[in-house]
Amino acid sequence: MTFGAVIFAFGVIPLLELLFKPDPKNIESAELEMRKDDRAYDFMLYMVLPAVYLSVAAYLFALEGQNWQTYEIVGLTLSLSMVLGGLGINVAHELGHRNSRFEKTLGKLLLLPSGYMHFFIEHNYGHHKNVSTHEDPASSRRNETLYHFWIRSAVYGYISAWHIQKKQLERSGKSFWSLKNEMLIFQIIQLAWWAGILFVFGWKVTLVYTIAAIGGFLLLETVNYIEHYGLARKKLSELRYERVRPAHSWNSNHVVGRLMLFELSRHSDHHFQPAKKYQLLEHHPESPQMPTGYPGMMLLSAVPPLWFAVMNKRLPDTHASVNPAQAAAA
Average pLDDT of the chain, as a whole number: 93
Burial of residue 47 (number of CB atoms within 10 Å: 0-12, 13-18, 19+): exposed
Distance CA 215, CA 217 (A): 6
User: How many structural domains comprise the chain?
Assistant: 1
Helix (H, G, I), strand (E, B) or coil at 251: strand
Dihedrals phi, psi of 206, to nearest 5 degrees: -60, -40
Q: What is the pLDDT of residue 140?
A: 97
Mean pLDDT, residues 187-192 = 98
Tell me: the pLDDT tens digits for 253-306?
Answer: 999 988 889 999 999 999 999 999 999 999 999 999 999 999 999 999 999 999
Instruction: Provide the 8-state DSSP code for 316.
Output: -
Average confidence (pLDDT) over 147-164: 98
pLDDT digits (tens, 9 = 90+) for 109-137: 999 999 999 999 999 999 999 999 999 99
CA distance 281 to 29: 12
8 A C-beta contact, residue 257 and residue 271:
no
Is residue 279 included in any domain, yes or no? yes
CB of 110 within 8 A of CB of 89?
A: yes
CB 142 within 8 A of CB 181: no
Is residue 330's pLDDT more than 50? no
29 assigned to some structural domain: no
Choose between 248 and 323: higher pLDDT. Answer: 248
Buried b (16+ CB within 10 A) or exposed e, 305-324: eebbebbbeebeeeeeebee
Write down the H helix ranges in 20-69.
29-36, 39-46, 48-65
| Predicted pLDDT of residue 30 | 85
Residue 32 lies in a domain: no
Residue 253 located in a structural domain: yes
pLDDT at 36: 87
State the pTM of this model.
0.92
Packed helices 182-228 and 70-82: angle between N→C axes, nearest 10 degrees: 90
**Residue-level pLDDT at 325:** 40
**Which residues form the domain of 108?**
4-24+37-230+238-329
User: Can you give the pLDDT at residue 37?
Assistant: 86
Query: What's phi and psi for 258, nearest 5 deg?
Result: -60, -40
What pLDDT does residue 295 have? 93
Q: Are 91 and 262 in contact (CB under 8 A)?
A: yes
Neighbours of 147 (CB within 10 A): 13
Cα-only R_g, the chain: 20
How far, in whole angstroms, is CA 221 from its chain's centroid? 6
